[in-house]
Structure 1
Amino acid sequence: MEWKGRRQSSNVEDQRGAGGPGGFGRGGGFRIPMGGGPRRAGGGLSIGTIIFLVVIYFVLKMMGIDLLQVLGQGGGQANLPGFEQTESATRSNSPAQEETKQFMATVLAETEDVWNGIFQASGENYQEPKLVLFSGSIQSACGFASAASGPFYCPGDRKVYLDMSFFDELANRFDAAGDFAQAYVVAHEVGHHVQNLTGVLPQFNRARQSMSEAEANQMSIRVELQADCYAGIWGKYTEQKGLLETGDLQEALNAAVQIGDDTIQKRMQGYVVPESFNHGTAEQRMRWFKRGFDSGRVQDCDTFRVANP
């Protein structure tokens, strides 16, 4: 993608290095699936030990001794349980990371141009989202989330959250390398923001409170496929600007395939459980992105009006 020298969005918050304990539950952000499930780490501290250490910390604090500062002066960084330092935090200021940050700011700016234009054509005002770059874990209005959660959009604060180390995983673990694959991820999450502004996400969040898990999964698939279609619309306008290079579209389509529910389940466990799908199959995700890309029209992205999306 030809992006260097183009406008970069000012709606980027760089919070790399400032983390928190991970994990958000149902009703939280809308994320790119990562696969796998919760795992218990061996060798961890027991609850009793943690409570004892916390008590010791505050006792020393009352005595005027800042244990964290003492440890920091010893040449190391103190990591409390749940605040582990990650590799992404240690290399957040590398030239490669800084270039990726500039690329993300440029992609976000391009999405702003596209959706501002679409909303204005309908007589509406597009409220631009923020893109928060973090490392390891972070707190959002949807709760705490970690890099393991994948990129996500939080309707509560209208922000897209992204640990850029995800792109390494996208390339190495999901076989979806390329800058336009990365751009697709951002455009998909911005698609969720568009859904939030148009009322799709609020309506879904209300409705799923009374749905069974199976019903909520089926509705979630329609939500995710529409965000894919919206990402395709952004891709269409990007192509019209002459910014796409040879192979860019294929990078995005391949990324859509590699993060399909069936592809991830086959990779992680060797078999698929269709009733557990909540983002869409590889074929669905690729097809709806391509539909938006070919059409460039919001009305062609109505996944809720078709019998079988």
Structure 2
Amino acid sequence: MIMKKLLLCALALTSTFIYAQDKKEQDRKSILEMEGCYSVTFDFAETFSPDTAYVKYDNYSSQATEYVFAIEDEPDFISLQHILVVNDTFIVKHWRQDWAYENREVLMFDKDRTWKKNKISKKDAAGTWTQSVYQVDDSPRYQGYGTWVHVDGKHYWESVADAPLPRREATVRRDYNVLRRHNRMEITETGWNLEQDNQKIYRNDEGKDQLISWEKGHEVFTSGNKGCQPAIDWWKENHNFWADVRDVWNETIESNDQIKLERKVDKQLMYQKLFALGGKYEGDNYDQAKAKKEIETVINSFTNI
């Protein structure tokens, strides 16, 4: 009887392990299915405010061609870089999303260009993937974690994370300083969607939050676009420089419990300085030692730790 119970227990543990591994591979497949050349539409609309006198801002819509590809693909980690192609030829290095399996630490946005580290328990991290989103200059934006769901032919992941204001409002809004993103990323037959239910929040110095308004957002990535070759060519010429930018940022984040960024240095934003610096090191002109030293100088000038 004892041997039978031990055998049943061993079989149950084996089945659980096999299920977890199969589930993880499903998760990885869904993340990697975000690779491709896409036509993208961005649509945002404010929907509700607790203040009856609040006047909603105008809806926002835009569209673009976007190339998404893996720059790292490991069993527990996938990094997807986004590059915009504007008017068929102009290239903009766009956001990056890193995915880490059963990650135990997140860099949480607080407010006023400040991020603080927070621990995740082993229990809460089990089976989850943390999505870390970075700005165009590879500085931190937000991190959220959740479980990929595969049911009834649907494949989606959801999380809640505080973030800075989106670029479309960062220079025109002063009534809120935190965007609480309720994100749902879903793989579809034609590509993938990022659906958002966002809370625009004003957070005071005591950490008290006041809800200003809700916002609905849809980012629809439709595959089949053929206009991404300029992005592919640009990355071949510039990937070494941006690999070193990521390395410097990783070192900075790993060695500090808090990151606070200056908005401008010498009247320039960080992305302006790094994009200009990257132009010096395209293709055969790349000198890693020199480039990395200059990258460190730029990033250190913006970090107030």
> What TM-score, normalized to structure 1?
0.24
Identify the structure with bigger relative contact order (alpha carbons < 8 Å, sequence gap 6+).
1
Structure that is richer in helix per residue: 1
Structure that is richer in strand per residue: 2
